[in-house]
Amino acid sequence: MIMEQPLYFGTQYYRPPTPAREDWDRDLAAIRALGMNLVKVWAIWGWMEPRPGHYEFDDLEQLLDLAHQHGLNVQINVAGVEMAPFWLDRICPGGRRVVNGIFMPRQNSLCCLPADFSAFCPDHPEVGRRMTEFFRATAARFTAHPALMGWDAWNELMGMGCYCAHTVAAYREWLRNKYGDELDALSHAWRRRYMAWEDIRPPEHPRCGYADMVEWKTFLADHTAAQARQRYDALRAGDPVHPVMAHTSTPSLHNGRGGLAWGDDDRKLAMLLDGWGVSWAPAETPIAPENHGTTYTLDITRGAADGPFWISELHASGPMVDGFTTRDSPPEYREQKFWIWTALAAQAKAVLFWQYRPELAGPEAPGWGIVRADGTFTERARQLGETGRILGKYNRELAAARPPRAPVAILYDPQIAMMQQAEHSPELFAASLKGYHRLLWELNVTAEFLHPRDLDRLGDFPLAIFPFPALIADADARILRRYVENGGHLWTEAFMGQFDERWEARPTVPPTELAELFGVSFGERHGAKELGMVPPEGATIKLPDAFVIEQMTPTPDAVVSAWAHAGGKSPLAVERQAGAGRTLCLGTLFGRAAGEMPDTGDAAAWFAEKIAKFGVVSPFAVSPSRSGVRCRLLQAGDATWVICANHGATVSTRIEVMLPCPGCAAGEVYGDPACHISLDGGRLTLAGDMAEHSVWVVRAAHADGKD
């Protein structure tokens, strides 16, 4: 549904009780004048239902009427248990989440708190019933309003888990379903002797068996997805028309302690909704070539959404989690322009600022804001209209624009991250994914993150990289083998298939199917803080923090393509032709090592050479090659958009790319005089001094194409 929408450019506007009513008309007129087409407002359960069954929507009604008069669309963000009414404690005793054996404490400013706080448990039947009724009633009230664009059903979604009697009962029910109501089957799988289902408790401490941890987190992932769907269905019951989405603040693959650690599996969630978004905070990290994490967040969000996604919150004025914290300097317009285009290049289809005007109540006051607290324009607000006009002019084209098919899939299994929760090193999983993403990002090669549910799409990618593959089910090993035999290139590394689908260590690693496929067997594994990688030709490549080295023995039909230098010389990279495809296995955590390097240098060059042999090269030729310039392509019908962002210092650069339309004309959409464009037989060249932290946005289309 989201895919058929226009491109949205807008801002969060109203979270009760601010801004004040007398400012609304003037503010909405100013927002429209900036070229924005959407505002987000909040329907907060604790504000809109001050007494049970008694709804007060007059503020939202007035806001939607005014937005309509100013030609603005409105998304309503509905907040449920995370911002519950004060009477709920009295009406639903025992309705609070239980964590660490106690009920979540009361927060007296629930209405104005950021929504990273879920005090009540919707598994409590009366809490769940009252919350969903609020969602339904809100949707029914506004479904016919002409300004309504749609719903955000869950702000900064976080499942987090709960140990109340209702949630634990739901967990046991989930286990009974999974094991066909056979307690012995569960006991066998977990290597235990259980007497009754009631004896099973979810783990409350990180140090527990892998089975306990993965089953509990997988339940939470399914359960959070079901709760998101419960909100969706409640809104749908009141509004059969408008799209319903949700957004996260910490994507599943972000790091070892968020997302999946709480049991949020973004892919499972996004599949149940009409759209998926993220709160994106690039302003919290300086723009620099080594800070690829902000782009990583965009790419993993696109992976969860399987395509277009939303920037549901883009910080307007830097990291002010509370009103007393401040940034060294307010962000400038050029940074905001930089981030908007970086997001669009990653296939975001909406960019909403957090937020228009600083709040005056609650713990974030007076933080954030495109404009000042009195509503007057900052310099960055005045300039933002330039981007607003461009996004308005090319709205339909940018809404329809899609990147070319990515040549690389990065495979991941959420269970590996969940297993790490029972371990001391929860960062290995995300760090390994991030490291490979960084290498590809530096080469201007786009990658898609592939969830186990999407393995049927594996054949679409010439190259699949499986970082930190510590768990591989027998059935998945067969899928990987077929992929290679049919012509795919598969790249993986240490820990390959160490654990099976019951989270039990295999006695021989890799398992037979994969040992044959990769032409390698592992002996003992030991730690490797400093590792030297020696290719057949060229200098030794230093891999700091590679974590481990596997003692690898290649089969006679395999080729050693790099050696390890760590006290002796042993195989570090083993390649093998298998059917129509080829495999490469590294005996260390290469991705993790790459992610930790201040400069990927030689490791990146070796990686680029290897993946080129597997048919993966960037469509862009950028010189100098080790600059901070990152480029992406978008295509919309006849038009091609080239978006280049300079994450580094000012550089004299030359960027070349072949366009699919030889007869096109090209122009820099901002008219940046530093960007010299030439087009020769479909080869587009951009050259000039590219300023630090600037973007070049070039549109190419047939001269008679609509502008």
Task: Identify which of residues 162 and 690 has a Cβ nearer to Zn ion in the complex.
Answer: 162
In angstroms, the CA 518 to CA 481 distance is 9
Strand order across the beta sheet in which 447-450 lies: 447-450, 408-411, 463-466, 489-492, 581-586, 569-578, 559-565, 520-534, 541-554
Q: How far is the CB of 124 from Zn ion (least distance, A)?
A: 7
E strands, 289-372, are: 309-315, 348-354
Q: How far is the CB of 244 from Zn ion (least distance, A)?
A: 24
Q: How far is the CB of 230 from Zn ion (least distance, A)?
A: 14
Amino acid at 567: G
Q: How far is the CB of 166 from Zn ion (least distance, A)?
A: 5
Q: How far is the CB of 102 from Zn ion (least distance, A)?
A: 13
The three-state secondary structure class of 654 is strand
Instruction: Report helix angle 428-442 to 601-613, nearest 10.
Output: 80
Site residues (vs Zn ion, CB under 5 A): 121, 123, 162, 164, 167
Task: Identify which of residues 101 and 673 has a Cβ nearer to Zn ion in the complex.
Answer: 101
In angstroms, the CA 557 to CA 57 distance is 72
Which residue, 498, 528, 521, is CA-closest to 423?
498
Task: Identify which of residues 167 and 301 has a Cβ nearer to Zn ion in the complex.
Answer: 167
Q: How far is the CB of 122 from Zn ion (least distance, A)?
A: 8
Task: Identify which of residues 120 and 614 has a Cβ nearer to Zn ion in the complex.
Answer: 120
Which residue, 467, 518, 468, is CA-closest to 489?
518
In angstroms, the CA 538 to CA 435 distance is 23
Q: How far is the CB of 216 from Zn ion (least distance, A)?
A: 13
E strands, 212-274, are: 244-248
In angstroms, the CA 42 to CA 80 distance is 11
In angstroms, the CA 107 to CA 39 distance is 28
Pair 275, 310: CB distance under 8 Å: yes
Cα first-last separation, the chain: 26
E strands, 80-172, are: 98-99, 102-103, 148-152
Amino acid at 213: M
Task: State the DSSP H helix or E strand holding residue 416, giving kind and residue range, or none if neither.
Answer: helix 414-420
Q: What backbone phi and psi angles, to 5 degrees, belong to 448?
A: -110, 140
Task: Identify which of residues 116 and 454 has a Cβ nearer to Zn ion in the complex.
Answer: 116
Q: How far is the CB of 95 from Zn ion (least distance, A)?
A: 9
Tokens encoding 608: 């680029």
Q: How far is the CB of 121 from Zn ion (least distance, A)?
A: 3
Q: How far is the CB of 229 from Zn ion (least distance, A)?
A: 17
Task: Identify which of residues 123 and 672 has a Cβ nearer to Zn ion in the complex.
Answer: 123
Q: How far is the CB of 394 from Zn ion (least distance, A)?
A: 47
Task: Identify which of residues 95 and 510 has a Cβ nearer to Zn ion in the complex.
Answer: 95
In angstroms, the CA 245 to CA 248 distance is 11
Please state, as a whole number, how many other Cβ atoms lie within 10 Å of the Cβ of residue 16: 19
Q: How far is the CB of 49 from Zn ion (least distance, A)?
A: 21
Task: State the DSSP H helix or E strand holding residue 657, giving kind and residue range, or none if neither.
Answer: strand 651-658
Q: How far is the CB of 123 from Zn ion (least distance, A)?
A: 4
Task: Identify which of residues 169 and 321 has a Cβ nearer to Zn ion in the complex.
Answer: 169
Q: How far is the CB of 219 from Zn ion (least distance, A)?
A: 12
Task: Identify which of residues 200 and 471 has a Cβ nearer to Zn ion in the complex.
Answer: 200
E strands, 50-177, are: 73-79, 98-99, 102-103, 148-152
Task: Identify which of residues 33 and 165 has a Cβ nearer to Zn ion in the complex.
Answer: 165
Q: What backbone phi and psi angles, to 5 degrees, belong to 585?
A: -120, 125
Task: Identify which of residues 118 and 347 has a Cβ nearer to Zn ion in the complex.
Answer: 118
Task: Identify which of residues 165 and 241 has a Cβ nearer to Zn ion in the complex.
Answer: 165
Q: Find all residues with CB under 8 Å of 77, minimum gap 6, and list them.
A: 12, 40, 41, 42, 43, 151, 152, 155
In angstroms, the CA 398 to CA 30 distance is 24
Task: Identify which of residues 70 and 96 has a Cβ nearer to Zn ion in the complex.
Answer: 96
> In Å, how far from its chain's centre is CA 324?
29
Task: Identify which of residues 123 and 274 has a Cβ nearer to Zn ion in the complex.
Answer: 123
Q: Where are the alpha helices (DSSP H) in 322-372?
A: 333-345
Q: How far is CA 487 from CA 278, 369, 615, in A?
A: 35, 52, 11
